[in-house]
Amino acid sequence: MNPETVIDAVSAVFMVTGALMSLGAAIGLLRFPDLMSRMHAATKPQVLGLFLLLAALGLQMRSWWVWPVLVVAWLFQLLTVPVSAHMVGRAGYRTKHLHPELLSSDELEAVVQQAAGQQAAKHGVDDDDEAGR
Amino acid sequence: MNRKRISLRQELPLLVWLVFVWGALWQNFSPGNLLFGALIAVLVARIFYLPPVELGGRFNVLRAVPFALIFLGKVVAASFQVLYLAVVRGPNVVSAIVAVPLRSHSDLLVTATGHVISLIPGSLVVEVDRSTSTLYIHGINVRNAEDAAKLRKEVRDTEAGLIRIMGTKDELSALTQEIAA
Amino acid sequence: MMQTVLTVTAVVLSLAAAGAIVRIGRGPSLLDRVLAADVLLAIFGAALCIDMAVNRHLNNLMLLVAISLIGFVGSVTVARFVAERRESVRES
């Protein structure tokens, strides 16, 4: 076998797997019951899918100088995806998007209640000003 | 301007990164281009001033390379795990929110741990308590206390790996003592 | 061989986009919709990537980075907005 065929085959496998990752994310979005588990489906396959597709692109271009820019593009993805997932998850938790019956344990609940109790005690009868933060 | 000057040594990782991005975007790593990029990087770092990241002062490459490889493997595993759960378990998946106290109080390490945790199988950071540096983690497919303990151990191990790579000397010696004990 | 890959990935990505759009339409809450829109953008990014790889050019690379940036900024903004609004509604 000549190397050209091998490179083509590897990048073809990468492309198909990367596309399947997107499909996996969509299946997860449709089948998972609550926001939090859907977030898992939305973030993780995205990162791997982009990695595989960029690797296929790098293999197809067959020149070394595209690799740094592909690495930069992937690193940006790596840095931004957890942040946006965390922001969405935090907003989801704070606005009570959770279904408690789907959780086997929730160790944040007690802390939130305690903090709310402290804040209410501090403010007395006044309304708490959580929105002021 | 009476802001505190940052030493060049502290700024060096940022500058190297900026020059690398410059070269990558031009797709040209010739010395002239890199020199011009370095000039622009220094200018940008001087004009658009941001609070410096508190680095630990050390970086262990020998530990970083295996960590990166294991991390890459875990990213792959994470995607396939989500795929498996979506297809097989679907609507019946059970999760949990687990509190994990971290050892380190440095912002950089807590952030790095949170990022790595969000990308490895079955965990996502929901809330961070900065004063006690506790991460509240949503773990998918965590059905009982045993699974939660496993998740907690995973997070603490990840943090230990990151401390070995770029934690301060104090954190490192505390970690070795903890393991020896 | 590239033609087969193109066909397969086109079908797979279309199915994935359909799934994400269904979730955008159905999604019980705003956050679900944002999440699904983010996934839809990622699927567009994947399609751009495959186009570049099959036709061997790099014209879409900056578009790809821009799309992922838009997804990031969009979901962070909506998340913040949702959190703020809900809290003030609960108080009043």
Task: With beta carbons less than 8 A apart as the criterion, state whether C23 and C36 touch.
Answer: yes
Two structure tokens written together for C16: 């994935």
B1-12: average pLDDT: 63
Q: Which residue of C has its CA nearest to A47?
A: C42
Question: How far is it, in rounded angstroms, from Cα B162 to Cα A88?
Answer: 26
Give the closest of A37, A45, A47 to B140, CB-based: A37
DSSP secondary structure code for residue A66 in this structure: G
**Angle at alpha carbon of residue B32, lines to B30 and B35, rounded to 5°:** 110
For residues B53 and B163, the model is more confident at B163
**Are B116 and B64 contacting, i.e. CB atoms less than 8 angstroms apart?**
no
CB of A56 closer than 8 Å to CB of A15: yes
CB B118 within 8 A of CB B170: no
Does B82 contact A40 at a Cβ distance shorter than 8 Å?
Answer: yes
Tokens 């990622």 belong to residue: C42
Per-residue pLDDT of A24-39, as tens digits, reads 889 888 888 888 888 8
Chain C residues touching A61 at Cβ < 8 A: 56, 58
| Chain C residue numbers touching A87 (CB-CB < 8 A) | 75-76, 79-80
**DSSP letters along C36-59, please?**
HHHHHHHHHHHHHHHHHHHHT--T
Look over chain A and give the mean of its residue pLDDT values, rounded to a whole number. Answer: 80
Which positions of chain C have pLDDT values less than 70?
83-92
pLDDT over threshold 50, residue B7: yes
